[in-house]
Amino acid sequence: MTYFSQIRPQRRAPRVNLRGQLSATIQLENGRQFSARLHQLSTTGGLIEVSTYLEERSWIGLTIPLGSGAVYPTAEMMFPMRGGSGYLQPFRIVRLRPEERQKLEKEITELLQQALAPPRLGHGSGFRPPRFYLEST
C-alpha cells in the first residue's frame, strides 16, 4: 500500500468537480457503513456530502465506484462544513494501493478531458455546459 507523506506537493493534484453525481460508500472503524455523495475528487483527496458529519481526523474506508472498477482508499476526514441538506466534508487520501491509484488517475484524466472537449455539432441547438469542471489552484 502507498502511504502519502505529510509533505505538500508543489502543485495541486488535478481535481474533477462531480457535483454530487457519484455515490461513495463510507466504512467506519467499527464496521458501520453508509453512503455519501462525491462533490470533488482528486488523487490526494476530495469533498463528500454526508447526512451526519464525521469526526475530524478520523480515518475511514471509502469505496468509490469508477468506470474501470472500484477503488478502496483509506482517508482522513477534515473539518466539516454545513451544506444544504447535510454536511460537506473534505477528506485526504492517506492509503491507496498503486494499481488503484493508477485507476483513479486514469478516471480523473478521462473526466477532465470530457469536460474540456468541444461541444459536438448537430446535437441540439442549445448550449450545454460540460458535466464536470476542472478546478483551478
Cα-based angle 130, 106, 74 (whole degrees, multiple of 5): 105
| Helices first, then strands: H and E counts in the chain | 1, 9
* 2-57 pLDDT tens trace: 555 555 656 788 889 998 889 999 999 999 999 999 999 999 999 999 999 999 99
Domain harbouring 111, CATH code: 2.40.10.220
* 136 within some domain: no
Q: Is residue 9 part of a domain?
A: no
In a domain, 134, yes or no: no
**100 or 124, higher pLDDT:** 100
Distance CA(114)–CA(116), nearest Å, equals 5
**Residue 109 identity (one-letter amino acid):** T
Query: What average pLDDT does range 48-68 have in this prediction?
Result: 93
Residue 108 lies in a domain: yes
User: Which residues constitute the domain of residue 80?
Assistant: 14-117
Angle among Cα 2, 16, 98 to the nearest 5 degrees reads: 15
* Domain contains 128: no
Q: Which set of grid coordinates corresponds to residue 20?
A: 454530487
Q: Residue 130 domain-assigned?
A: no
- Per-residue model confidence (pLDDT) at position 119: 64
pLDDT in tens, 89-122: 999 999 999 999 999 999 999 988 887 777 665 5
How many Å apart are CA 69 and CA 104, to the nearest integer? Answer: 9
Domain count, the chain: 1
The reply to whether 31 falls in a domain is: yes
Kindly state whether residue 1 falls inside one of the protein's structural domains. no
Q: Residue 61 corresponds to which cell in the numbers above?
A: 474506508
Q: What is the pLDDT of residue 31?
A: 93
* Closest by CA position to 4, among listed 35, 44, 59, 33: 44
SS3 115: helix
Whether the Cβ atoms of residue 60 and residue 26 lie closer than 8 Å to each other: yes
